[in-house]
Structure formats: C-alpha cells, structure tokens
A and B are shown apart, each in its own frame.
Chain A
C-alpha cells in the first residue's frame, strides 16, 4: 500500500511569494490532516478534512493559508503571500479514523527568506 505522499520535500521562497504544498493521502482514507512544526516548537494542528469537507480548520493561522481537497482525494495547502514566520515543516497525515492513529507523510520543509 502506498503511503502518504507530500511534495515538494523542500521549498525555499522569498517573502511575499506564493507556495502550494500538495498531499496525496492513502487511498480510501477519508480523513486528511495538515500539521505544522515551527523550529523548536510543538507540532501544531492546522486543519482536518473529511472527504472534501473541512471538518475543523481551527488551527489555520490566518487567511493567507488556503487548503483544499479536490474530490476528497489529494489536498493542497497554499500560502499567499508567504511571510518569514511561515517557515517550518508542514506535515500531512491521513487516517481511516482516530482510533487507528494517523499515517504521516515525510513533510515539506518550507523556508521563507
């Protein structure tokens, strides 16, 4: 079974530019999550999709972040315009349900300069 795939693995952009991160969950997993780890801090929840619907987006930091999940399959997370404090590792995870635990992707390391 293919795992959770994220790309790019690394992205370096200038402040003010736009970046789009992509996540392909495990096939059949209705639940898809985005998390972010800023250097030296905890991994923080950003949002949760159930199929194509946003179940919980309480962790989205501001309206510069836009997440979509087309047709309940892959998801994108767009940051526009990027700021320095957006730097960090963005993780995507999918799950058939909480009790099973999540399967995480390898993350996208975003550096805003």
Chain B
C-alpha cells in the first residue's frame, strides 16, 4: 500500500524568507509521480509542482522547488522569497504509474507573516 506522511501540521514563515515543507512516502513501485498541491482558504486546489520518480533532477517552478531523495523516499517543498499569497494548505501526493488515484498526506497549513 502507498502512504504519504506530512509530519508538520502547521508551519509559519516571515514574508520574503524561505520555508521547507517535509513529505515522506512509501511505495513498492519504481514508476510513480509525486505532486505538491496548494489550497488557499476557500479556494480550489492548485498544482504547485510535479516530479517524475525516474528523473533525478529536482523539479523547479519559479520560487518553488523540491528536494527529491528517492532512496530516502523524501519529497520536500522549498518556497523561496515567501509571499503573503503563499499562505495555504499544502498537500503532498503520490500516484503510481498505471494508476490514476492520488494518495495524499494530511496537509501542512502554511502561514506567512508580514
């Protein structure tokens, strides 16, 4: 069975600083995808970043980057130059190749302080 663990229920960061959200996962598959989704208050979930397991290079999207440690089954999200609009619930998710369902972590609530 696949599992995703987000050990930080809440995090806070000062505006313009950097924060890292942790995520570990477990899967027996070699072909899988990892995602970070962001859900602002009362708004829809948005895909932040995606990582294919077969790619060694860490994915980057503007101020968002991941540290993908395949052997350790770790997939942390780094947000640089944090902005007030980054405040949201962040969900780490996993799906294996050939399957369509996502397995989610419990989420981390990020607060950005001005």
Residues of A within 8 A of B (CB): 3-4, 31, 33, 35, 40-45, 48, 55-56, 59, 91, 93, 95, 98-99, 101-107
Q: Which of A3, A42, A56, A101 is within 8 Å of B50, CB to CB?
A: A101
Assembly CA distance A56 to B96 (angstroms): 14
Q: What is the size, in residues, of chain B's interface with A at 8 Å between Cβ atoms?
A: 24
Any A CB within 8 A of the CB of B47: yes
Whether B102 and A102, one on each chain, are in contact in the complex, defined by CB atoms closer than 8 angstroms, is yes
A99 to B52, CA, bound (A): 8
Which of B17-25, B71-79, B103-111 lines the interface with chain A? B103-111
Are B44 and A104 in touch, CB under 8 angstroms? yes
A98 to B47 CA separation, bound complex (whole angstroms) = 13
Q: Find chain A residues with CB under 8 A from B99 CB.
A: 98
- The reply to whether B100 and A56 form a contact with Cβ atoms under 8 Å apart is yes
Please report the C-alpha to C-alpha distance between residue A40 and residue B10 in the assembled complex, in whole angstroms: 12
Q: What's the Cα separation between A45 and B47 when bound, in Å?
A: 17
Q: Given A45-B101, A56-B100, A102-B102, 7 other A-B contacts at CB below 8 A?
A: A4-B44, A91-B45, A98-B33, A101-B33, A101-B35, A101-B47, A106-B43
17 cross-chain CB contacts under 8 A: A31-B100, A42-B4, A42-B105, A42-B106, A43-B91, A48-B101, A55-B100, A91-B45, A93-B45, A98-B33, A98-B95, A101-B35, A101-B50, A102-B102, A103-B47, A104-B44, A106-B43
For B35, the chain A residues whose CB sits under 8 A away are 101
CA distance A42 to B104 in the complex (A): 6
Closest to B99 in A: A98
Nearest CB of B to A30, in Å: 11
Verify A45–B44 contact, CB threshold 8 A: no
Within B10-45, which residues are at the interface with A (CB < 8 Å)?
A: 33, 35, 37, 42-45
CA distance A91 to B37 in the complex (A): 13
Question: Which residues of B from 48 to 89 have beta carbons under 8 Å from A?
Answer: 50, 52
Q: How far is the CB of A85 from chain B (nearest CB, A)?
A: 18
**Pairwise interchain contact B100-A48, C-beta atoms closer than 8 A:** yes
